[in-house]
Amino acid sequence: MRVSNVSGASVPQQAQRRQQRRALRVRAEATIRHGAVVAKPDMRFAVVVGRFNDLVTKLLLEGALGAFKSHGANLDNVQVVWVPGSFELPVVAKAMAKSGKFDAVVCIGVVVRGATTHYDAVVSAATSGVLNAGVDTGVPTVFGVLTCDTMEQALDRAGGKVGNKGGEAAITAIETANLLAELRGEGLAAPAWGPAK
C-alpha cells in the first residue's frame, strides 16, 4: 500500500524532495568554485607528447592545440616537447612544471595492450608519475594518455567516434590552472613549487 499526501506524492517521494531542498539550501550557503575554461592571453602551457604510437599522438596533439586556441590561449605560449613514449612523460613533465614557466602541463601518450605485461607496467608508471608531477610541484599536470585494448579504440578517442581526448586534456589544463590561480590569489592554496615567473 502506498501512502501519499494531498499532492499525490508517496512518502518516499516526499522524503526525497525534502532532502533535495535541504541540499539546495546547503549549496546556497557554501562557496562553490570552479575554474574558467577561457585561457588568459598570458597563460603558458607545456604539452609533453609520447612519440610511440605517433599515428594517434599526433592527432591528440592537434586536438590539444585546437582546444587551446579555441579557448583563448595564445599558441605562441604553448611549448610542445616530444619524448620517446608514455613511460618518459612524467620526468619531463615534472621538470617543466618545476621550471616555474608554465601554468599547466599536458601529457599526451598512447598505450595499447599487447600480449605481454609491458602494458600494465607502462600504464601504471605513466599514471602515477604524471599524478605525482602535479602533486609534487603544485602545477596542474594533466593525464592525456590513452590506455586502450586496440588501436581502433585509440583512434576513436583521437578525433574519431568518441571525440578527441587531447582537446579534453587541454581544456582540463586551462580550467585547473585558472582555479588554482584564483585560490592562490585569495590565499586558499599554496604557491606552486619552483622559481617565480
Q: Which three cell numbers stand for residue 162?
A: 568518441
In this predicted structure, the answer to whether residue 16 has a pLDDT above a threshold of 90 is no
In angstroms, the CA 39 to CA 163 distance is: 21
Quickly name the fold that domain 45-185 has: Rossmann fold (3.40.50)
80-101 pLDDT, tens per residue? 999 999 999 999 999 999 999 9
Considering Cα of 65, then 67, then 68, then 74, what sign does the dihedral take? positive
Mean pLDDT for 148-167 is 97
Query: Which pTM does this prediction carry?
Result: 0.83
- Structural domain spans, the chain: 1-32, 45-185
Cβ-proximal residues to 154 (8 Å cutoff; 6+ apart), any chain: 53, 56, 110, 112, 146, 148
- Which amino acid makes up residue 111? V
In angstroms, the CA 34 to CA 16 distance is: 27
Q: What does the pLDDT read at residue 196?
A: 46
Q: Which residue has the higher pLDDT, 93 or 32?
A: 93
- Of 17, 33, 34, 118, the active-site residue reads 118
Q: Which residue has the higher pLDDT, 3 or 176?
A: 176
- 118 labelled catalytic: yes
Q: Which residue has the higher pLDDT, 3 or 26?
A: 26
38-62 pLDDT, tens per residue? 999 999 999 999 999 999 999 999 9
Pairing of strands 104-112, 45-50: parallel
CA angle 31, 37, 40 (to 5 degrees): 105
- Min mean pLDDT across 8-17, 18-27, 80-89 is at 18-27
